[in-house]
Amino acid sequence: MPTPLPPKARAKAVQQCQRETVAAIDWLGLWAVSFGFCAIVLAGIADFMGGDKIGAACILIGAAGIIAFVFYAGAKADGQS
C-alpha cells in the first residue's frame, strides 16, 4: 500500500496563493455588477420589444434600489456607519 508523501513547499505556497485570491475577490461588487447587467438587459427587452419606456425605467430604478439596499445592509453588518 503506497504511503502519500507530504506536500512540497511549492504546493503549499500555491495553495496559500489560491486562498488569498479567493478572499481578495469582492463578491458583493461582482453580484451588483451582474444584477445591474441583468436589469439593463430586461429593461432593453421591455423598451425595444414592448415599447414600454415606463416599465424599463421602473426595472432600472428597482434594480438600483435593490443594489443600494444590499450595499447599505452590508455596510451595517460590517459595523460601518
Query: pLDDT tens digits, residue range 17-31?
Result: 666 666 667 788 888
Residue-averaged pLDDT of the chain? 82
Specify the pLDDT at position 62: 96
The larger pLDDT score, comparing residue 49 to residue 16, is at 49
**CB-neighbour burial class of residue 56 (10 A; exposed 0-12, middle 13-18, buried 19+):** buried
In this model, does residue 51 exceed pLDDT 60?
yes
Specify the pLDDT at position 15: 66
**CB-neighbour burial class of residue 53 (10 A; exposed 0-12, middle 13-18, buried 19+):** exposed
